[in-house]
Structure 1
Amino acid sequence: MLNIANITGAILAGGKSSRMGENKALLHYSGKPFIQHIAETLKPACSHVIVISDRHEYAFLDLPMYADIIHDAGPLGGIHSALTHATTSMIFVLSCDTPFVTTALVQEILSQAHPDKITIAKDDANSHPLIGVYPKNILAELDSHLSNGNRSVYSFLHWHTDRLTTLDLNRFADQLRNINTKTDYDLLR
């Protein structure tokens, strides 16, 4: 397992939640906002936890918050901001709509991650690039990708397959789900 002293947990919470129609990070599951579940999941597995967002509604978490450096760049811009602000050599990324991820899953991914490679989760249906480890040494390549107008996480990963490890975590498939729509959220209740 990677040394947690070298890992910053980064919660991506800067999205517009357009499919949901309201801020996904503040939706409740088991009596707490999604973003609080995610912070509590990351804290035992990472030396620091930060929030990538310019919304002040998350102040109750008492975590450092950073806005996107490159605006309107989507989750890839959030990863860029997290890597830029992290004081560690790696970040563990979780998007704000993944309240089912447990610390055990984070630790499983960290146990298989390589310090110089991107390591993301995958199940039988999908890869999950917003559940995984990104090393700080990709920052220059990420800068270049974004400065060329490329905003897709999948596009970035496609061009960097030599630095990508995809972990088959189908046994954790129920934790890899994200909540994007009101229908997804209604199924929780």
Structure 2
Amino acid sequence: MLEHTETNDPSRVTEQVTGVILAGGKSSRMGRDKATLEVEGVALFERVLGVFQRIFSDILIAGERPDLARPGVCCHPDIYPGSALGGLYTGLFEADSDWIFVAPCDLPFPDPNLIKALLRLRDGYDVVLPRTGQGLDPLFACYRKSCLEPMRRLLDNRRYRIFDFYDQVRVRYVDEHELPEGWRQALLNVNTPEEFQDLEDLLPKP
């Protein structure tokens, strides 16, 4: 029987994990490129990248965004274009490590504590992701290389719902009571101009 353990050693939490930033979306509902929208003078992509650079030694961009690439952070066009699952597959395929942590490029408040909390639970599993009152969050999650084959089968059959391969792998759902304080804000993303405008209410007042 497989024994599930937690990775509690701080030195191991991000060991052999590649940070993958998903940047293949079209920002159609926003009407402009979400990655370059600024919060407190810093582009959303840069906010995610800055957090990733603090905790991951290897980082890549999944999506054909050469404008976002820089030395040490390469972009990889999606192997299966047109879906979030395709971007996730690309990031996992291109990573040199057995594990990736994936996040979208449009998170205003990415939190390293939440990332590390999810990574600590990965031993014995293939996927680790939050499960909250808002549902599952498969694009802010940990994935292992063992997910590549079931992902590929979905993509080859033009099935793009990420959850559809979860019954073929070992998934650790992390419920609200297990998440660190501030998880709601950390998981917030913006899809419309109205949602972006509402971010002002969450910013510190001068």
TM-score above 0.5, yes or no: yes
Runs of 4+ in 1 over 4 A off after TM superposition: none
Structure 2: distance between partners of 1:149 and 1:124: 29
Q: 1:66 aligns with which of 55, 76, 81?
A: 76
Picking from 173, 189, 196, the partner of 1:178 is 189
In structure 2, C-alpha distance between the alignment counterparts of 1:69 and 1:125, rounded to whole Å = 30
Cα RMSD after superposing both structures: 1.8
Match of 2:68, SS state, is: helix
CA contact (8 A) 1:15 1:75 kept: yes
The corresponding residue for 2:37 is 27
Contact persistence 1:116–1:137 (CA under 8 A): no
The whole-number CA distance in structure 2 between the counterparts of 1:14 and 1:167 is 26
The 5 A counterparts of 1:15-164 are 15-59=25-69, 63-72=73-82, 74-114=83-123, 116-157=125-166, 159-160=167-168, 162-164=169-171
CA distance in 1, matches of 2:197, 2:71: 25
User: What's the CA shift for 1:153?
Assistant: 1.4
Which residue type is aligned with residue 136 of structure 2?
Answer: S
TM-score, structure 2 length as denominator? 0.83
State the Cα deviation string for residues 49-93 of structure 1 (Å, max 9, x = none).
111121222135751110100111x11001100111000000000
Identity of aligned residues (%): 27
**Is the partner of 1:104 in helix, strand or coil?**
helix
C-alpha separation in 2, matches of 1:115 and 1:50: 25
Question: Contact (CA 8 Å) 2:55, 2:112: kept in 1 or not?
Answer: yes
Instruction: For structure 2, list consecutive stretches of 5 or more residues without a partner in the other structure.
Output: 1-6, 201-206
Contact 2:13/2:116 (<8 A) preserved: no
SS at match of 1:83: helix
Equivalent residue of 1:137, what SS? helix
Residues of 1 paired with 2:31 and 2:68: CA distance? 18
Query: How far apart in 1 are the matches of 2:31 and 2:190?
Result: 12
Shift of 1:3: 4.6
- Note the residue ranges of structure 1 that are not aligned, 5 or more in a row: none
Matched residue, 1:188: 199
1:88 corresponds to which letter in structure 2? S
1:5 aligns to 2:12 (yes or no): no
Mapped partners of 1:165, 1:146: distance in 2: 23
- In structure 2, give the amino acid aligned to 1:26: T
Q: How far did residue 98 of structure 1 move?
A: 1.7
Moved more, 38-47 or 128-137: 38-47
User: Computing the radius of gyration over CA atoms, which structure comes out larger, 1 or 2?
Assistant: 2
Instruction: Give the C-alpha shift of residue 10 in structure 1.
Output: 0.2
